Amino acid sequence: MSTSESIDRGSVVGRRISVLLGGGLLAALAAGCSSGVASLSVQSPAASTSSSGSADPSTAPASSPGSATSSVPPQSTAAATQPLPAGTRRNLPAGVFYLLAGRGLASLNLWQVTVGGRERQLTHNRRGSGIDAFDASAAGIILADGSSSGDDLARLTPQGPSLLRKTGGQLALLRGSSPDIRDDGMIGYVTPPSQSGSRTGGYFEIWTRRSFSGRGTVLLKQRHPLAGPVFGPHGQIAVEGWGGAGQKPSVLIYSGSGVRRLLTGINAIPSLVAWGEHAPALALAFPAHAAELLYLNGHRQLLPPGWQPLTWNPAGTELLMQSARALGIWSMSSPGRVTRIGPSTPGVQILQADWLTTKAPL
């Protein structure tokens, strides 16, 4: 089903589903929970493993017409907290890394790490008005900016987040959560149910747009929770969701030939689905459960215990993984182990990550 974007989503779009998961996960981590835990995009388990499987002891285009620039004032330099120590940054594999990180869900900002471990903070939202989600690709960076009463979609520019607006002459800001962006510029996002009593009803809706300024279409809507869409190989789109009481969470795969439903191995909605143009499978992170790979033929493969996936590398051969206190690399060539990169900054949560070959354009 595909309908043109023509409705006002109401004045408030709530934080994405994964944030609701994340609050409980951070509490579990603080309490010393020893099971595998993932937050928002990924909050790590409280016990991590080294590459041998033992416990880890350390355990620039201008803003488009009709757009607006986020007015959230920057934090002071002293208040900004780097997500990774210098040694860990220098040990990262080749590529450019984007990390959504902060000291809690209310203070998330986007960071970039390039060759040699050079780190740069890309957004400077204040506590309580952070970036709730993002995605980066060869076409740019899209943000779910929480500086207002809900999430506004924004394009990251050299001047900061440039808020997107609806098409067709409408001046309303574009509300949405859990955005994803493909290398060709197509974006996807989810809108939770609108305000009570509005004409749109209590539906979660998955939207796609051909570009930052393109017209939107609805891919899917339902009353039960849906998380944002994730782009995969050959133009496919994955949507994770829950069908209601008595039904296991599943992942819907949209392609030119139709829709398929794949069941996960866990009776819980994944807190992150990592996919990509060259990824061989969907990497699923779960709150309080082991992570797994879900292949399009329905085959499931558990990932090493104590680690949760963050993102695939551009070639689709390795996963950036996270434990409670460290980052690591999982490889298709050595599926039974995770090679430790180095520790993460104590007290800082990395909730999302992207791994690109070169910098995303701003």
Whether 46 shows a pLDDT value over 60: the answer reads no
Would you state the torsion angle of the CA atoms of residues 117, 122, 126, 129, taken in this order, to the nearest 10 degrees? Answer: -120
Contact between 131 and 125 under an 8 Å Cβ cutoff? The reply is yes
| Domain that includes residue 345, residue range | 17-51+80-356
Averaged pLDDT, 72-92 = 72
**Rounded mean pLDDT of 196-200?**
44
Query: What confidence tens digit (pLDDT) does each residue in 143-157 have?
Result: 999 876 668 899 999
Is residue 90's pLDDT more than 70?
A: yes
**pLDDT tens for residues 295-349?**
999 999 999 999 999 999 999 999 999 999 999 999 999 999 999 999 999 999 9
Tell me the average pLDDT across 31-45: 31
Q: Which residues share a beta bridge with 99? A: 111, 353
What pLDDT shows up at residue 165?
A: 86
Inform me whether the pLDDT recorded for 36 exceeds 50.
no
Identify the residue with better confidence: 60 or 153: 153
**pLDDT beyond 50 at 202:** yes
Return the pLDDT at 21.
38
* Lowest mean per-residue pLDDT among 8-12, 84-88, 90-94: 8-12
In a domain, 11, yes or no: no
Q: Is 344 inside a domain boundary?
A: yes
- CATH of residue 163: 2.120.10.30
CA–CA distance, 324 with 118 (Å, rounded to integer): 23
Answer whether residue 123 is part of any domain: yes
Residue 189: its pLDDT value, please? 94
At residue 203 the predicted structure's pLDDT band, cuts being 50, 70 and 90, is confident
Cα–Cα nearest to 280, from 301, 264, 305: 301
Q: Is the pLDDT of residue 35 over 90?
A: no
pLDDT of residue 218: 92
Check residue 70 and give its pLDDT. 53
240 in a structural domain: yes
**Top-ranked range on mean pLDDT: pick from 55-64, 147-156, 183-192:** 183-192
- Whether the Cβ atoms of residue 286 and residue 268 lie closer than 8 Å to each other: yes
Best-predicted range by mean pLDDT (18-32, 116-130, 244-258, 259-273): 116-130
Interatomic CA distance for residues 46 and 116, integer angstroms: 29
| Residue 213 within any structural domain of the chain | yes
Task: Decide: helix, strand or coil at residue 184.
Answer: coil
**211 domain-assigned:** yes
d(CA 167, CA 172): 9
Percent of the chain with pLDDT over 90: 53
In angstroms, how far is CA 99 from the centroid of its own chain?
10
Residue 228 lies in a domain: yes
String of DSSP letters for 86-140: HHHHHTS-SSEEEEEEESSGGG-EEEEEEGGGEEEE---PPTTS-EEEEEEETTE
Number of domains in the chain: 1
Residue 57 resides in a domain: no
Q: What is the mean pLDDT of the chain?
A: 78
What pLDDT shows up at residue 141?
98
